[in-house]
Structure 1
Amino acid sequence: MAASRHPAPAPIFVLGGQVDVDVDIFAAHPGPEWTKIECATKRAYGCGDLAKEALQGLTLYAHLGGGDDPLFSSSSLAIRMTDTARRGFESELDLIHPRGDTRVACHHFICCPRKIAGDREGLTVVFLLFRRDPRAELAYYLAYDHAAASLCLLPHVPDPVEAVSSVKPVAKRNGAGGDFELFVMACELSSSSVPPRHFLCACTAETRANAASDGTGAWQMRNQSFQHEEVEESFSAHVVFPFKTMGIWAGLSRGLMYCDLDTTSDGDVGFGFIQLPYECLLDTMQEEMAEKVAYQPMEVTRTMGCVDSSITFVCIDPAREYANDLWEKVREARVCELWRLDGFTEAGLPEGSLECPIITANGALCVVLCDQSKFPEPYEGVLLDNICVFDVGLERLQWHGFAHDNRFTIPVISDSPLPFTQFPAEEATQ
């Protein structure tokens, strides 16, 4: 009798873009299927005393995909906080944005966490936003270092500036196995200069250990030197990542900005720009039409990442012409060709559109296969989407599985697993 074939383990991992938090019962245990993430240390840098104390009441949980089903690749993160921690963050918000009437209880204090960076560097960075109303917000980066099992709370860029292009930081390590570093592009909140001054904000082990008293705290601000006609003030970075010693801010409609992160200690930081292939360029109106009218963010059909010593750009909807000596066209394939690959029909996969592409470390292409017949009706629950991984040359279906899709957030797909498996799942508190 032929031995039964077991499906290969998932080569990619789908992490929900939003981090779960119970807005009504902040301290409630997320459930028995969740694994508590152990933290050897918890430290806050450049934060107020109330926020530093509140950090001790934060707990992270992971819901890992797979389990008994190797084809299931969805994972999730959750944050829970004690009532003391919740009051601490609320009080910190009140210090910065005082309420008009302190006798009125704060009934609309919410926490909006979003996973934004990490994994390949052994880091998970969450953008943590506390909000009482649209004019009273308090934002942090919550960074978990998997190697050191440490949790770090940092204010989201210094007070004199605001993040531009993206709130996502370039997250990297200082050398092999070194401490983590975050880099964010920012500009002055109010300035008499036109255009306003731009900065590269760097948070390193050195800046965290020697927090400045001038309002910049754990961040070092370096003047950003950049002169390129192709880039407007509204440049939006959809994808950010480290590449060798450089930081990459990739606008999937125009091109990528880059700088050498290892030369930011003295003088201005020089930025360069590489434009996308001409046929893939979108002007501001085309981008707004795609994102605001068609409700199709750039990440749905485009991505960029590093593979070995190259930066790779993937566009699911390429134009008809090609002319650019900075980019080499490696492969062009019609979606219908991928539908006819060996194993596609046998697996019962639908002939749907391709969305949310990512490039794995070995150059494979991972996409969500969208079945148009499965769009949810109003108030319908979570659906399952098919995930496909094609080889470098788009000539073979390497793997397929499925993941949750609630149609309201863009998933974060990674070829690195959440390294939380060493912790046993806790039982829910009765």
Structure 2
Amino acid sequence: MSSLAREDLRRLMDRSAGSDARVATRVRELIARVRADGDRALFELARQLDRVELKALEVPRSVCEAALAALEPSVREALARAARNIALAHVPQKPHLVEVETEPGILVGRRPDPLGRVGVYAPGGRAVYPSSLLMGVVPAKVAGVGEVIVCSPPGPDGLPHPSVLAAAALAGADRVFALGGAGAVAAMAYGTESVPRVDRIVGPGNAYVAEAKLQVVGAVAIEAPAGPSEILVVADASANPSAVAREMLAQAEHDPEAACVTLALGESLAEIIAQEVDRLAERAKRWEIVTSALGSRGAVLSVSSLEEAWPFVADFAPEHLLIATESSQEDLRHVRNAGTVFLGERSSVAYGDYMTGSNHVLPTAGLARAYSGLNLLDFYRWTTYQRVAPRAAESLAEDVGRLADSEGLFAHADAARAWGRP
């Protein structure tokens, strides 16, 4: 890895979530249209961008339930299994009220309150993602969010994909809208005649959705900035080269800009893995997307020791980290910056994407240095409170007055000292 050209290393590390100026400008225009014209703009955008004449923005609950009833039974059971595991994994994350007496008579508390309304974006386009809908809706319902709405792009029939509608019914979404792209984000952020304004927007999307979420921050909260999918694999001699290659291709098929990197222990292993990646890529069903991703942000690098790998992992801060080593559980102690970690080559990232229950809405572009994956805390806000007993007020009065005087806030000082007077 030490021989990697500086420019190549920069390209691997620089996966900025920021879009180009054209995307930012176009998104700004779309948001402005929705803010100005509300539902009318949404109908026009569906006509212009989705090439569909919508009869209504909202999908009736009966249509979602019918989609669930029509779903192939084995797929329905798989979705139900995923939803159960997501719920089980998130229930223990429920926060609790905390109270502490900082001094006698001074009580400080912090109470978790579920958000009133949350918007979940379920992508369409190159693929449909009922799994992503579950990852947003199920934790929100577990948290006790007052109302959960879903936006997903309409197909030729004016409705989101049937599997998305089925997942919405299964997960218990309260309302579903046939809306996609930046327009959907703007509608959820600011509200229209039909779409209610939400407190937080979660869920992945394309470059326009990601940019729109960034532009509406301030009007609404989001879980984290997001970009194309990515994986970093750390492999030693115990790893199966074909398994490592399959994991790289699984992420590469998401997006032409996906980042897929392996750190292999030794040049020989790196060469074998690279050959397997090439072999499997040639027969990939999503060949164009896979080869584009591997060509632009794919790499198999050799390291002389695992100790050399961990600083790279920390700097790269991947969305998905697969530790395909003989001592993967022990090696976890070296990891701090990653969206989620998979221990051992049998712990396929695909399992986490769909079925383990861990959330797959994760930070990308190196933002795992500061952000965590979507979790139950994203669906709460905290109410802090304090109570000061009479004798404690007398005790605080003069010291608070001195501090306020030192900052030139004399009314503060007077308010504090008033309770310290006989």
Whose strand proportion is higher, 1 or 2? 1
The higher radius of gyration belongs to 2
The alignment's TM-score, normalised by the length of structure 1, stands at: 0.25
Structure with greater proportional helix content: 2
TM-score relative to the length of structure 2: 0.26
The higher-RCO structure (CA 8 Å, 6+ apart) is 2
